[in-house]
Amino acid sequence: MPKEFLPGSDVATLSVVGYDPRTCYTGRAPLEAYAQGIEVGPNDLVFRCNLVTIDSDVMRDFTAGHISQPEASRLIADLNAEFASEPIDFFEGVQYRHLMVLRDAGDLRCNCTPPHDIPDQPIAGYLPHGDHGERVQDIMKRAAHVLCDHEVNKVRCELGDNPATNIWLWGYGRVKKLPLFADRFGVKGASIAAVDLIRGITALIGFDQINVPTATGYLDTDYVAKGQAAVRALDQYDLVLVHIEAPDEAGHLGDYEAKIKAIEEIDQHIVGPVLEKLKSFDAWKIVVVPDHPTPVSTRMHTRTPPPLCMAGAGIESVMQKPFGETHAQQSKLLIDPGCEMMEYFLRA
């Protein structure tokens, strides 16, 4: 993870697929906008827009209780109605993860903090700040007025669910074209993912998108269907990327039992079947790697280099021990910068 960036899935995933964030990254939100096919002009800025729960000026829940899609749809629609006369557009994403586009933003600059980095912390020191921070804060304040007495939130409170009290704007940037993966590595790739960030990154580099309707990007995702989709895709593509969000979500929740279960599900229903399929080919390779750690002890992303496990043709073992952080720290293999990992994997 380059030191000048916060540890996050955007920068980390770009590195995993072989792209240096220092030359190709402008922000998280435009990557998600590309996945959604949102039309963005050269002077427009795209912000990630979380629906969150803030209580007594403390970030209580950066997912607003994992608000349902129908509820989120109503809230985003009413936010668009509130800002209809202004150069501001909200776009519905998945559950709590949405986007806002600020049209003709010019040279707007501010410092923004991801809401998942401040669980149960006062928000005062993390609100957007800098040259144009007040403008971004003003949008957030006006949105809060729309949400505070919204019928969706009244019902959620009655049911004991966390309400979406606020929006949180962060991860802004402009869309930037990336060189195609096939042109760089001579490999035809496909991606299986349930979150727009991964879809956006892999679409930008030219991967085909394989949709799994029952994949959710949460703990209840359909591991079996994702594994089966990957196995089928291996007959058509040189490289298949499978992304699973569940362990990260469990880390943010501080739920170690859910994290263990998610890893077991991945091992049984995705890694296992994919490995068996690969062994049917004359030559094959596999790499299992997190994009970044999210320890349950802190519920936040860290800069600790994540462990990786490679096997297959041309791969020489550096350690024959169970795959995990403890053993990885004992290994002398460290790929730094991380964006060179893909080259190492493909050319080994």
Q: Which domains does the chain have, with CATH numbers?
A: 27-173 (3.30.70), 181-347 (3.40.720.10)
- List the one residue out of 28, 74, 35, 70 whose CA is nearest residue 49: 28
Tell me what the mean pLDDT of segment 180-188 comes to: 97
What are 252-268's pLDDT values in tens digits? 999 999 999 999 999 99
Cβ within 8 Å of residue 298, ≥6 positions away: none
Q: What is the SS3 assignment for 288? A: strand
| pLDDT for 1 | 66
Overall pTM surpassing 0.75 (yes/no): yes
> Are the C-beta atoms of 184 and 18 separated by less than 8 Å?
yes
Q: How far apart are the first and last CA of the chain?
A: 22
Tokens found for residue 248: 């990260």
- List the one residue out of 79, 120, 127 whose CA is nearest residue 101: 79
105 has pLDDT over 80 = yes
| pLDDT for 326 | 86
Q: Which residue has the higher pLDDT, 2 or 86?
A: 86
User: What's the mean pLDDT when you consider all of the chain?
Assistant: 94
Q: Please provide the DSSP assignment of 10-46 as one string.
A: HHHHHHHTT--HHHH-S-HHHHHHHHHT----TT-EE
| pLDDT for 151 | 97
Q: Which residue has the higher pLDDT, 285 or 329?
A: 285
Tell me what the mean pLDDT of segment 21-48 comes to: 92
pLDDT category, 285, cuts 50, 70, 90?
A: very high
pLDDT category, 280, cuts 50, 70, 90?
A: very high
DSSP state of 52: E
Q: In percent, how much of the chain has pLDDT > 70?
A: 100
What are 129-182's pLDDT values in tens digits? 988 899 999 999 999 999 999 999 999 999 999 999 999 999 999 988 899 999
Q: Which residues pair with 53 in a beta bridge?
A: 61
| pLDDT for 120 | 95
What are 48-80's pLDDT values in tens digits? 999 999 999 999 999 999 999 999 999 999 999
pLDDT category, 319, cuts 50, 70, 90?
A: confident
Farthest CA pair distance, the chain: 62
pLDDT category, 318, cuts 50, 70, 90?
A: confident
14 has pLDDT over 70 = yes
Residues 343 and 131: their CA atoms lie apart, in Å, by 39
In this structure, the strands spanning 239-242 and 189-192 are: parallel
pLDDT category, 343, cuts 50, 70, 90?
A: very high
Tokens found for residue 36: 């959604």
- List the one residue out of 322, 321, 348, 320 whose CA is nearest residue 335: 348
Residues 197 and 5: their CA atoms lie apart, in Å, by 17
